[in-house]
């Protein structure tokens, strides 16, 4: 039974808050959680005792709070659901960020895993389909903000056709922008073509979900170039620079 099946929505909020505070400042105290969730100190201490009983955190009064392995996994799962929903609302439905974030916070606790994965697949589809992409999203936003206006459909369709023809032309292999993942910059999105490695390294990458055809967004490169933070199917992962060099990708 997963952690999300054994704890309430409010407990998930606590785990998410603890994880985010640890990420930001490395240490968590009850007052930090009370401030983050805008609740009273006594309410926090009661919840922390319950989470400790469920072995999701290490907690003793007047000491720092730490997530257990199970607690960290549960917190990451809640955060992933939140981010996927928020990204769908902002990137696909063109909802303003604050409104999308609030709605995601309400929905993250009850949405089934199967639906979350469908959200991820749809976002990836929009990112890569010739009829989708950022232009399509902007078109939908224009439609919403202008009382259903559909006055530029012909130009949009013709633009999509021209772009598709240019990508599928005889020189498509030369313009495919095939490169190593390590050569990308933060914000770039790409599709995995192949992994140029064998043995334990390849197995580790495959176990992380980095498989041919997967979509990756490069989020951050450490100051010295190692590690590299990526996002794949809603998961935030860190890989080494030498591992990124082995991943052949096509920029999208």
CATH number at 214 reads: 2.30.30.90
Residue 124 lies in a domain: no
Query: Model pTM?
Result: 0.73
Q: What is the predicted pLDDT for the residue at 27?
A: 86
- Comparing CA positions, the residue from 104, 79, 78 lying closest to residue 91 is 104
Question: Which DSSP letter does residue 216 get?
Answer: E
Question: Quick one: 105 and 19 in the same domain?
Answer: yes
Give me the pLDDT at residue 14, please.
Answer: 94
How many whole angstroms separate alpha carbon 34 and alpha carbon 114?
Answer: 33
Q: Identify which of 52, 48, 53 has the alpha carbon closest to the alpha carbon of residue 34.
A: 48
Whether residue 145 sits in one domain with residue 209? no
CA distance 142 to 150: 9
What ranges make up the beta strands (E) of 133-188? 178-180
Report the number of distinct structural domains present in the chain.
Answer: 3
1/107 same-domain check: yes
- What average pLDDT values come out for the chain (252 residues) when binned by 10 residues? 63 94 89 92 91 93 91 94 92 89 92 91 79 66 64 65 61 62 91 89 89 92 89 91 92 83
- For position 174, what pLDDT does the model report? 47
Out of 167, 187, 210, pick the residue that ends a domain: 167
What is the domain extent for residue 12? 1-111
Burial class of residue 215 in the structure, from the number of CB atoms within 10 Å of its CB (0-12 exposed, 13-18 middle, 19+ buried): buried
- The residues pairing with 232 across neighbouring beta strands, listed in sequence order, are 235
22: left (phi over 0), alpha (psi -120 to 50) or beta: alpha
Q: Exposed, middle or buried, 245 (CB in 10 Å: 0-12/13-18/19+)?
A: middle
In a shared domain, residues 7 and 29: yes
Whole-number pLDDT of residue 61: 85
């Amino acid at each position: 039974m997963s952690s999300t099946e054994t704890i309430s929505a409010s407990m998930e909020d606590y785990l998410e808050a603890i994880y985010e505070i640890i990420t930001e400042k490395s240490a968590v105290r009850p007052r930090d959680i009370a401030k983050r969730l805008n609740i009273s100190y006594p309410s926090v201490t009661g919840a922390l005792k319950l989470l400790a009983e469920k072995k999701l955190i290490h907690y003793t009064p007047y000491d720092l709070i730490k997530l257990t392995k199970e607690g960290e996994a549960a917190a990451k799962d809640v955060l992933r659901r939140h981010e996927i929903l928020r990204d769908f609302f902002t990137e696909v439905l063109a909802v303003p960020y604050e409104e999308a974030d609030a709605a995601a916070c309400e929905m993250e606790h009850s949405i089934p895993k199967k639906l979350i994965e469908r959200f991820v697949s749809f976002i990836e589809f929009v990112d890569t389909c010739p009829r989708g992409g950022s232009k399509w999203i902007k078109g939908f936003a224009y439609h919403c903000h202008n009382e259903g206006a559909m006055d530029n459909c012909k130009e949009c369709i013709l633009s999509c056709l021209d772009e598709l023809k240019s990508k599928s032309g005889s020189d498509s292999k030369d313009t495919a922008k095939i490169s190593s993942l390590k050569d990308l910059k933060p914000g770039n999105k790409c599709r995995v073509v192949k992994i140029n490695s064998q043995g334990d390294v390849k197995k580790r990458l495959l176990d992380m979900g980095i498989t041919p055809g997967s979509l990756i967004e490069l989020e951050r490169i450490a100051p010295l170039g190692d590690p590299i933070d990526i996002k794949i199917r809603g998961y935030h992962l860190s890989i080494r620079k030498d591992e990124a060099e082995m991943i052949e990708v096509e920029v999208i």
